[in-house]
């Protein structure tokens, strides 16, 4: 049980766990994004017949897949950055960061593949910890203390 002293209290363990899980999800997203460029040649080999049937050259197919891979990596890195920033904001006691993390959890499902499901599962567990009662109370008191200090 935590002791409450003054206007603000020590950060509860639930917030630290949510912070760690959000960082883990961001790291997973970056690792999975780093694997995408290595899958281009195998995808070109697999799609060669379909491309020939549509009269698309192998070079054109490879170029298109490279552009898609670069876009996927950029989006994944941007996602990871926003998750990381939201995790740090949560750790600072910002309640809105929880809402951002929930939205990012839903957005993590957009690719709907095994990697996306793993990232989403880690974020869901982090969201559960971020919305636990001790975390909610701490965020509320931290926000009130911050508001009082402004005046």
Structural domain total, the chain: 1
Question: Residue 8: inside a domain, yes or no?
Answer: no
pLDDT of residue 130: 97
Question: Residue 118: inside a domain, yes or no?
Answer: yes
Question: Residue 97: inside a domain, yes or no?
Answer: yes
- Tell which residue, 93, 117, 94, has the closest CA to residue 106: 117
d(CA 60, CA 45): 13
pLDDT of residue 9: 59
Question: Residue 2: inside a domain, yes or no?
Answer: no
Question: Residue 101: inside a domain, yes or no?
Answer: yes
- Tell which residue, 110, 139, 106, 137, has the closest CA to residue 123: 106
pLDDT of residue 86: 98
Question: Residue 98: inside a domain, yes or no?
Answer: yes
Burial group, residue 129, by CB count within 10 angstroms (0-12, 13-18, 19+): buried
pLDDT of residue 98: 96
Start-to-end CA distance of the chain, whole Å, equals 31
Pair 27, 79: CB distance under 8 Å: no
Question: Residue 93: inside a domain, yes or no?
Answer: yes
Structural domain boundaries, residue 47: 13-145
Q: What is the mean pLDDT of each run of 10 residues along the chain (151 residues)?
A: 50 97 98 92 83 84 91 96 98 96 96 94 98 96 92 82
pLDDT of residue 4: 44
Question: Residue 48: inside a domain, yes or no?
Answer: yes
pLDDT of residue 117: 96
* pTM (2 d.p.): 0.85
**Tokens (6 digits) for 22:** 């959000």
Largest Cα span, the chain = 73
**Tokens (6 digits) for 104:** 């990012």
Could you identify the residue written with the tokens 């690719």? Answer: 111
Could you identify the residue written with the tokens 């080999």? Answer: 45
pLDDT of residue 99: 96
Enter the DSSP assignment of 11: P
């Amino acid at each position: 049980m935590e002791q409450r002293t003054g206007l603000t209290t020590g950060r509860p363990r639930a917030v630290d766990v949510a912070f760690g899980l959000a960082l883990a999800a961001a790291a997973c997203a970056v690792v999975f994004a780093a694997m995408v460029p290595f899958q281009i040649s195998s995808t070109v080999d697999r799609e060669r017949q379909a491309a020939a049937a549509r009269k698309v050259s192998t070079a054109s197919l490879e170029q298109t897949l490279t552009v898609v891979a670069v876009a996927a990596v950029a989006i994944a890195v941007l996602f990871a950055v926003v998750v990381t920033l939201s995790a740090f904001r949560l750790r600072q006691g910002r309640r809105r960061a929880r809402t951002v993390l929930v939205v990012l959890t839903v957005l993590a499902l957009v690719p709907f593949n095994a990697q996306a499901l793993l990232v989403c599962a880690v974020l869901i567990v982090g969201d559960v910890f971020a919305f636990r009662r001790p975390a909610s109370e701490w965020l509320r008191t931290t926000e009130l203390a911050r508001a009082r200090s402004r005046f």
